[in-house]
Amino acid sequence: MLGSGLLQGLAVTAKNFVGSFHDPARYTTVEYPEQPTKLPEAYRNFPFLVTENATDPMGTLRCVACQICEKECPPQCIYIEKSADKKPDATGKLQLYPKVFDIDTSVCMSCQICVEVCPFDAIKMDQVFAIATTDRFDGLLLKREQLAKSNDYYHSIHPTEAAEVDARLAAERKAAAEKAAAAAAAKAAAAAAQKPASPAVMPPDEPRRSSQSEGGRPPA
């Protein structure tokens, strides 16, 4: 009959109206600045530096200032200065660290190449987008203090990827410890045999390729 469709339509809108007051499925709007939304895990832009310990960010940077990212960066927005001294890295080996590590985010194009070439899982993609400043020069040039973010933060934004990285690093640490133990045992045995220590060639490091580095730098 004429009009039945109208009544059905009116019922639909009435249901939506009433539902918007009690049913979250009928009130899907998020009031953005007050209620930040969780970004999807795959969302990524602008790199940051991973630190092991949030209480001492500058002392526990994973970065060893190898400068690969600096060289690979297509728009050349990374600037690194090596340190003079060395500090133990994630596997306990003594390594250099970056005295200066700057990223000019006004130049950075979020291409993720720095992340793909990093052999130390030290630089990862962030999830920041509200980066507007009133100063387009210094405000957008991020220092290493601003870039350093903890591994826990990395876990909070990219959980799957971070778990993968942690597992790999743990395996490497274990392998390094076993190797050290084996080397110590061999040394002890050699000392016991009173033989001159043979110049044992160090086996090459397990290639530390990041999972996204297909087609990147060939393993050493």
The answer to whether 13 contacts other proteins (rule: CB under 8 A) is yes
Least distance from other proteins to the Cβ atom of residue 33, Å? 10
| Of residues 20 and 67, the one with the C-beta less far from other proteins | 20
Q: What 3 state SS string does the chain have?
A: CCCHHHHHHHHHHHHHHHHHHHCHHHCCCCCCCCCCCCCCCCCCEEEEEEECCCCCCCCCECCCCCCHHHHHCCCCCEEEEECCCCEECCCCCEECCEEEEEEECCCCCCCCHHHHHCCCCCEEEEECCCCCCCCCCCCCEECHHHHEEEHHHHHHHCHHHHHHHHHHHHHHHHHHHHHHHHHHHHHHHHHHHCCCCCCCCCCCCCCCCCCCCCCCCCCC
CB of 19 to other proteins, least distance (A): 8
Residue 134 CB, nearest approach to other proteins (Å): 23
The smaller minimum CB distance to other proteins, of residues 17 and 129, is found at 17
Between 9 and 207, whose beta carbon lies closer to other proteins? 9
Piece in contact with other proteins (CB under 8 A), picked from 13-21, 69-77, 89-97, 208-216: 13-21
Instruction: Tell me which residues in 172-191 interact with other proteins (CB under 8 A).
Output: none
Q: Is 2 in the site for other proteins (CB under 8 A)?
A: yes
**What's the start-to-end Cα distance of the chain, in Å?**
79
| Residues in 15-54 that interact with other proteins by CB under 8 A | 16-17, 20-21, 26-29, 31
Is residue 138 at the binding interface for other proteins, with CB under 8 A as the rule?
Answer: no
- Of 34 and 138, nearer to other proteins (C-beta) is 34
**Interface residues with other proteins (CB under 8 A)?**
1-3, 6, 9-10, 12-14, 16-17, 20-21, 26-29, 31
